[in-house]
Structure 1
Amino acid sequence: MDDLKTIISKTLNQYQNAKQTSFKNNRLANYFRTEPKRYIESYIKRTGFHFNYDIKSSVGNGRWAIIPWIVLFDTDISTSATEGIDIAYLFAEDMSKVYLSLAQGWTYYHNEFGTKIGQTKIKAVSNYWRKNLKLTSNTFNTKEIHLINPLKRYRTSLPRGYELGNIMSVEYNANNLPDNQKMEDDLALMIQSLEELKSKLINTKDIDLSNKYILSKSVITNKHKNNEYKKTPTKCDYDQQSKSNKITGLKGERYVVEYEKSQLQGNKKLQSKVEQVSVTQGDGLGYDILSFNPDGSEKHIEVKTTTDSENIPFYISQNERQYAKEDNSSYWLYRVYDINREAKLEKYHGNLEQYFSFEPTDYLALKKEN
């Protein structure tokens, strides 16, 4: 069985030539699919790390990959390189270097937001973790990694997604690889970083919830192209809200997204357009969820969630209240109760004045003129 340095070195030295040959039954491809898993499994058993793990590696699916990779998963967090956070060896396209990276899966962001906005989102989450994790080694850094030629156009967004998904890394130059012991030590320290990140997740079994929470703290300004009510999304002051309340709100919004999709069964096109705009566009639109009626007309849904019963009052902003008045034909308020037990839902359509009375609770303080 080859050691880690040999596996890395052989890939760096042989991959470019291998790409000029047939992908099917290629010797290097077969080696790359099996040997990293064998070695890393033996290393974890030997060193006594205690976590549920899996190892996968890829040189492509049916044709040679631009960026071959080896990934170590903590299966409590992720089991696929397309989503979640894992430890990855990412080989530069020109095989001049390889990075050991604490990395995010790009495909999740691409599918959720599209390429352009997805790149902004994955970068925002990377930046969050860079600020909230310790560097476990003085050779690790949080700089952007460089896997591809920035002047070249590619048939896929994956390579750039890999670059933006990097949280921290160490670079190994093909002409000056460290010895196997140093590579093993770096892997051990990167595992520690992954476990620190795991301890900071809201729910290790639901990393999407943590992502949505992080993204809600750093929303981007983006107008919804189909929205008649041209509000500019704004960044809220989340420091004034408790983390638990924010998480409760996100749970309620996700519950409503799934509920709305279930109401559109049989219409996959409309189902795919249901959007949690509070995360994708910001809190300034006046509603949280963009959904649709069966005829294709829009529903703008504000979600108010509580862990308690339906009798609990709720807070609503002036922007939200005004939007309900001005767009009463498409506006809906969904009240989600008992979100941590057996969630229940009440729906209110149009102007909220017909359902609720309102009491002012906040004031704007202006300095008096002398």
Structure 2
Amino acid sequence: MRDTTHMPADHPTLPGEKIGVLIANLGTPDNHDYWSMRRYLNEFLSDKRVIDYPAWKWQPILQAIILTIRPFKSGANYRKIWNNEADESPLMTITKAQTEKLRAVLQARFGDRVMVDFAMRYGNPSTPSKVAEMVKSGCSRVLFFPLYPQYSGPTTATANDQFFRALMQETWQPAARTAPAYFDRPSYIEALAQSVERTYPTEAEAPDVLVCSYHGVPERYLTEGDPYHCQCQKTTRLLRERLGWDKARVVTTFQSKFGPEEWLKPYTVEEVARLARAGKKRIAVIAPAFSSDCIETLEEIEEEIQHSFKDAGGQDFTYLPCLNDDDAHIEALAEVVVENLAGWLD
């Protein structure tokens, strides 16, 4: 609580002191038309954490070629999955639902002392706008929580960068913390395992192979010190051990390759075809790096990757949705939040 004992009578009214919990997701275009897509892609692909080529080399290619062509293709893909009823992308719909459920869990425990909201790294609502709202609402301390189970520079780090830049705009900065990756947290692994077991309740129904498909990054990031590859491998191992399946039935792959250089391998789109040619007729794909379903899961996995499997002779392809606002997932997220609020709240 703020001490107002010695505040003069004409002092501007201060809001009651609160703790802010700001969860962050990647982002989404405001719509799937050309200009909405171009704005979104420009912000995303201009991020040095995402594309780290020198600006003099990258920006002419981006502005003159990629942003002239790619908004049409990306817009068409977004149209396939768009939530027309709410007029927003599925990522936005799901992130709102996650925020509402997390807010309910935390307010049941801490009451109105905690303010829970969400922001996007790219697009709207922007991280600076949400930090400003929290400060205006009386949040003297803010926990920033990027919703990426595994840490990587192009995801967790750039989200944190934007949060820190937002703090630089505030005259009265709140105290701040960032939540760490939760790739090996037992409650997260349990939530993943439960999602598999709901789809395959008996051994007879289980797929020949469970493909754990993670978003890829350039291979050189591994040698430069990014822990993402190792954390993905550990998530897969812990999930396999929890399910009690042997090593041959659970594989780690990487999707969404972009640009000319080598990325982490094996590539999902190639591996599912190899599995089909090797006689694996029934596979399931799960995406443990994504906290929410989005264009990479609903379009890329459901369309391109599934087609690759079936074109190579595969028969039964199942995509297991992200954890989204599943109750077990929300409990795991709440566990991370409560642990990282230690010392700020009783």
* Fold agreement, TM-score > 0.5: no
**Which of these two proteins has the greater Rg computed from alpha carbons?**
1
TM-score with structure 2 setting the length: 0.23
Identify the structure with bigger relative contact order (alpha carbons < 8 Å, sequence gap 6+): 2
- Give 1 or 2: higher helix fraction: 2
